[in-house]
């Protein structure tokens, strides 16, 4: 599987040149066999070092190597995958806060998308809830 499309790479590089922002994750990588989820917001000019939220047992903001993700070999000849349906939708600070509260990026994703709420009780939509 191609881990980054050209469009994603360009967005990540642009975000990497503008580091003082609370970027929305551009791409989500995951281990289809167990622990390991990465939400990338930035890519260094070297094309290897990414920044975002990583969860390999505990969610943390930090950097990792794209080449190392590519080199991971899993059972049945598989590797780390890119979530083709991932849209990001929330700034990385929201992802990080929710992942820390819930214990994982996967649980944060369920909470953010299923509840229709951001942390702190703010609704995702602008309409009032119907009674």
100-117 tens-digit pLDDT: 999 999 999 999 988 665
Amino acid 32: pLDDT: 95
pTM, whole model, 2 decimals? 0.86
Measured between alpha carbons, how far is 10 from 16 in angstroms, rounded to an integer? 10
3-state DSSP helix/strand/coil percent for the chain, to nearest 5? 35, 20, 45
Amino acid 131: pLDDT: 35
Q: What is the pLDDT confidence band of residue 129, given thresholds at 50, 70 and 90?
A: very low
Radius of gyration over alpha carbons of the chain, in Å? Answer: 15
Higher-scoring residue by pLDDT: 52, 121? 52
Q: What are the φ/ψ torsions at residue 64 (nearest 5 degrees)?
A: -155, 170
Mean pLDDT of the region 63-83: 96
76-91 tens-digit pLDDT: 999 999 999 999 999 9
């Amino acid at each position: 599987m191609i881990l980054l499309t050209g469009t994603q790479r360009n967005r990540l590089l642009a975000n990497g040149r503008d580091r003082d922002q609370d970027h929305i994750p551009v791409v989500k990588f995951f281990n289809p066999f167990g622990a390991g989820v990465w939400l990338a917001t930035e890519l260094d000019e070297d094309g290897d070092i990414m920044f975002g939220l990583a969860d390999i047992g505990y969610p943390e903001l930090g950097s990792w190597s794209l080449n190392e993700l590519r080199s991971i070999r899993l059972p049945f000849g598989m590797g780390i995958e890119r979530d083709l349906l991932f849209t990001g939708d929330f700034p990385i600070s929201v992802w990080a806060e929710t992942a820390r509260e819930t214990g994982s990026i996967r649980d944060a994703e369920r909470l953010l998308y299923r509840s229709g709420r951001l942390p702190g009780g703010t609704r995702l939509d602008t309409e009032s809830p119907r009674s």
